[in-house]
Amino acid sequence: MKKAIFTFPTHIVFGNGTIQTIPKELSKFQIKKALIVADKGLLQAGLIDIVTQQLEIAGVQYAIYDGVQGNPIEQDVYDGVKVYTNNVCDFVIGIGGGSPLDIAKLICLKSTHELPLEEYEDSIGGHKKISSNLPDFMAIPTAAGTGSEVGRSAVVTLESSGRKTVIFSPHLLAKVVIADPELTVGLPRGLTAATGMDALTHNLEAYLAKNFHPICDGIALEGMKLVSENLRRAVEDGTDLEARGNMLVAAMMGAIAFQKGLGVTHSLAHPLSTVSGLHHGLANAIVLPHAMDFNRQVSAGRLVDVASALGVETGSLSLEEGAQAAIDQVLMLCQDVGIPQNLSQVGVEANQIPVLAEQAIQDICHQLNPRVCTLQDMIDIYSAAI
Ligand SMILES: [Fe+2]
């Protein structure tokens, strides 16, 4: 039997109304002042107020940094650190989708680590430079997608390279997650669909990734099942709290599962955000069926399991038929939740492919893809998706 290390450490408080447990959860920490990290959309949606009310009940002082952008850049981190230091904070609360939560993690990192952010990049072994002396971090997701609230990595676009860069360390993990489905009901249809497809992609890519991690495999299969049973409902009726709750769980399962690894879909999606400005989940959703097609020659058996998790009766199907059924199910789900069919429809042009492919091959995620990827493969998959 292979040897491995399995770690599942996050304390998650899940359920409708759990936002009201913030005072109880915070009482477990010694806090002088907390920094709330968010974006302007959350401020407008009144979600920051919901958190500050709880902090007032808890008697915890706070400062707010709400400058995080949709596809966050390095400067967002430095701006947040400035607010953190100027206000002598000693705790961080991230609220929002993946962007504010990732930037919150990096603010924690940079508040105690002095090297430039690029030195911590995972692809150059940056995790070895990250020690445990980070401030404690509470994550409050308001979207069901990245699962960043339970993830140990953060993605940010570095100024020097213009690339989306993954920074990874177990020390970036939140100490406590408040996962309240009621906070996600205001997410519009398009974002519900795109973030939900990101959750599906995490579960699916983790299941196909070539590392040995049977625990993550089990989580990924159940995560895919939850997405296939609930994403259409959440898109159709944003107030369906059962569907919203199941999607929130599926997103966390995706991020827990991808400690096993991700794959080529994410390597292709990252440049689509930095170069073409696409939402991360939307980029994944459009590329995913083509990446599955690319992987099928080495992963047909696993793709049959994916088809089964997505609701297909696979008992009588051949390997090829089962793998095709998985791709068809993803295409159908994309169509049902209103994802555009190809990259052209979202403004990506064929002449961008060489630049996109160059960045994709440098991205770390495809290193655990079940099939080895070359630069030409990246070009071919983009070309199929355009
Ligand atoms: Fe993702």
Distance 78 CA to ligand 1 centre (A): 23
Whose CA is closest to 48, among 142, 138, 181? Answer: 142
- On whether both 240 and 378 belong to a single domain, the answer is yes
- On whether both 199 and 336 belong to a single domain, the answer is yes
Distance 273 CA to ligand 1 centre (A): 11
- On whether both 156 and 205 belong to a single domain, the answer is no
Tell me how crowded residue 345 is: count the other CB atoms within 10 A of its CB: 11
**CATH number for the domain including 224?**
1.20.1090.10
Distance 282 CA to ligand 1 centre (A): 10
Q: CB-based contacts of 67: which residues, under 8 Å, 6+ apart? A: 39, 40, 76, 79, 80
**Domain end marker among 184, 216, 244:** 184
Tell me how crowded residue 26 is: count the other CB atoms within 10 A of its CB: 21
- On whether both 173 and 233 belong to a single domain, the answer is no
Is a pLDDT exceeding 80 seen at residue 263? yes
- On whether both 381 and 277 belong to a single domain, the answer is yes
Residue 173 resides in a domain: yes
What average pLDDT does range 143-170 have in this prediction? 92
Residue 2 resides in a domain: no
Categorize the per-residue pLDDT at 249 as very low, low, confident or very high, splitting at 50, 70 and 90: very high
Distance 101 CA to ligand 1 centre (A): 13
Whose CA is closest to 352, among 274, 290, 279? Answer: 274
**Domain end marker among 184, 204, 236:** 184
Q: Which domain holds residue 330?
A: 189-385
Residue 147 resides in a domain: yes
**CATH number for the domain including 153?**
3.40.50.1970
- On whether both 257 and 280 belong to a single domain, the answer is yes
Name the DSSP class of 125. T
> Residues 303-340: pLDDT tens digits?
999 999 999 999 999 999 999 999 999 999 999 999 99
> Residues 16-35: pLDDT tens digits?
999 999 999 999 999 999 99
Spatial separation of the C-alpha atoms in residues 92 and 114, rounded to whole Å: 18
Domain count, the chain: 2
Q: Which ranges of the chain does DSSP label H, i.e. alpha helix?
A: 22-26, 40-44, 47-58, 74-86, 98-112, 189-208, 214-236, 241-257, 264-274, 280-309, 319-336, 353-362, 375-385
Distance 248 CA to ligand 1 centre (A): 14
Residue 296 resides in a domain: yes
Residue 3 resides in a domain: no
- On whether both 58 and 196 belong to a single domain, the answer is no
- On whether both 18 and 62 belong to a single domain, the answer is yes
Residue 6 resides in a domain: no
> Residues 89-124: pLDDT tens digits?
999 999 999 999 999 999 999 999 999 999 999 889
- On whether both 19 and 118 belong to a single domain, the answer is yes
Residue 278 resides in a domain: yes
- On whether both 180 and 201 belong to a single domain, the answer is no
Whole-prediction pTM:
0.94
Distance 79 CA to ligand 1 centre (A): 24
- On whether both 160 and 218 belong to a single domain, the answer is no
Is a pLDDT exceeding 80 seen at residue 264? yes
Whole-number average pLDDT of the chain: 96
- On whether both 213 and 100 belong to a single domain, the answer is no
